[in-house]
């Protein structure tokens, strides 16, 4: 009997020590979010974690979404919040929330880091080209120049008293992944893959005990379905890490044979026209930009989101120089000419020295 009890106890201990990987999913920010997490040793149950993540994403939408007409961002952009704001306390009293103020700080940090190439204050420009919260297209040169002059400021109000309009789309999904990852860590989760709109946070290992393996979509025009055709696969070995891919092959329109991509260069006020098709950025744990005293501490996916956008603004040569100048960053840059929905193009691929393989 003692031997039987001993065997039973051993079996129970072994079952308790096995990883318990669970998939979570939901709808947010115009797409599906997904999380894979190991719940071994986590005291809260699956349904509570799902509710917690749903609640956080709802809060992000209510704060930062330009498509939610009742969000803090939308109300600010319409000028409905007080303009008498000089301190954080006054901002909170005026109707702003902590999430909006944090994103505003991160957006300004991204603007500084990228010499103004990633500019959340250029919302009016994005709208004018039809890639913001409105559906305009082909603005005149006069309009472009006037709107370009309004960008580059992170004060809540312009000098004429009108609201400084913001668009956080270049950062929001990376930010969302960071927020979900922080929540899961607070609940004791160590192994996770968080994916909000393709912007990811990887930590720990996968269900096989190996590094998380990710794919890069082949960046040909018309490849609108993630995973439909893969250009390459890599394993994220240095974790925790933020991983983001940006590209110009999904959001664009063509008028009179000219392609207008959604990436806008704030310095010219126009969509970019270089040959860089996609940029995959990995922000690893040793990156100084996410150190405990750095502006992006705790936000590796937000930083990766900003840098991937920067690469798509400046093109391959400047992107390579930026990545090589910043330790702890790795990149895979894919260049090529515009193509139809064929995927037959031969791409040119540049990878940083530390970019991981399979």
Q: In this prediction, what percent of the chain has a pLDDT beyond 70?
A: 93
Please tell me the predicted confidence (pLDDT) of residue 15: 44
Quickly state the pLDDT bin for 257 (edges 50, 70, 90).
confident
Query: Closest Cα partner for 180 from 305, 62, 22, 53?
Result: 53
Long-range contacts of 289-292 (CB under 8 A, 24+ apart): 289/113, 289/326, 289/328, 289/329, 290/242, 290/328
**Cα–Cα dist 220/252, whole Å:** 12
Residue 144 has pLDDT above 60, yes or no: yes
Please tell me the predicted confidence (pLDDT) of residue 338: 55
Q: DSSP readout, 41-106? A: T-SS-HHHHHHHHHHHHHHHHHHH-SSSTTSHHHHHHTT-S-S---SHHHHHHHT--HHHHHHHHH
Q: Of 14-18, 150-154, 216-220, 296-300, where does mean pLDDT reach its minimum?
A: 14-18
**How much is the pTM?**
0.92
In tens, the pLDDT along 275-291 reads: 999 999 999 999 999 99
Please tell me the predicted confidence (pLDDT) of residue 248: 87
In tens, the pLDDT along 194-238 reads: 999 999 999 999 999 999 999 999 888 878 777 778 888 999 999
8 Å CB contact between 178 and 242: yes
Please tell me the predicted confidence (pLDDT) of residue 3: 46
Which residues pair with residue 203 across a beta bridge?
192
Please tell me the predicted confidence (pLDDT) of residue 345: 58
Q: DSSP readout, 293-354? A: TSTTTT-HHHHHHHHHHHHHHH-HHHHHHHHHHSTTEEEEEEE-----TT-----EEEE-TT
């Amino acid at each position: 009997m003692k031997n039987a009890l001993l065997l039973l106890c051993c079996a129970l201990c072994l079952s308790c020590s096995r990883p318990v990987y669970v998939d979570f999913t939901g709808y947010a920010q115009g797409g599906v979010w997904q999380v894979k997490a190991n719940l071994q040793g986590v005291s809260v149950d699956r349904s509570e974690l799902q509710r917690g993540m749903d609640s956080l994403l709802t809060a992000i939408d209510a704060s930062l979404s330009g498509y939610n007409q009742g969000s803090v961002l939308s109300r600010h952009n319409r000028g409905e919040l007080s303009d008498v704001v000089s301190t954080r306390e006054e901002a909170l009293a005026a109707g702003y929330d902590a999430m909006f103020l944090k994103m505003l700080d991160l957006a300004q940090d991204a603007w500084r880091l990228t010499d103004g190439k990633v500019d959340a204050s250029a919302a009016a420009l994005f709208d004018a080209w039809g890639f913001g919260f409105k559906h305009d297209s082909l603005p005149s040169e006069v309009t472009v120049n006037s709107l370009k002059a309004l960008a580059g400021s992170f004060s809540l109000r312009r000098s004429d008293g009108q609201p400084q309009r913001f668009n956080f789309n270049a950062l929001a999904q990376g930010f969302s992944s960071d927020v979900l990852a922080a929540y899961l860590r607070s609940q004791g989760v160590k192994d996770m893959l968080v994916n909000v709109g393709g912007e990811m946070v990887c930590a720990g290992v996968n269900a096989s005990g190996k590094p998380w393996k990710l794919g890069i979509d082949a960046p040909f025009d018309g490849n609108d379905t993630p995973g439909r055709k893969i250009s390459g696969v890599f394993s994220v070995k240095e974790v925790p890490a933020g991983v983001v891919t940006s590209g110009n092959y999904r959001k664009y329109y063509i008028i009179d044979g000219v392609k207008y991509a959604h990436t806008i260069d704030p310095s010219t006020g126009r969509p970019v026209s270089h040959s860089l098709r996609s940029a995959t950025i990995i922000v690893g744990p040793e990156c100084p930009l996410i150190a405990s005293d750095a502006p992006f501490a705790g936000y590796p996916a937000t930083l990766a989101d900003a840098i991937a956008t920067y690469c798509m603004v400046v093109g391959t040569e400047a992107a390579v120089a930026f990545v090589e100048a910043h330790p702890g960053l790795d990149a895979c840059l894919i260049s090529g000419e515009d193509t139809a929905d064929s995927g037959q193009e031969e791409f040119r691929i540049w990878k940083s020295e530390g970019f991981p393989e399979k």
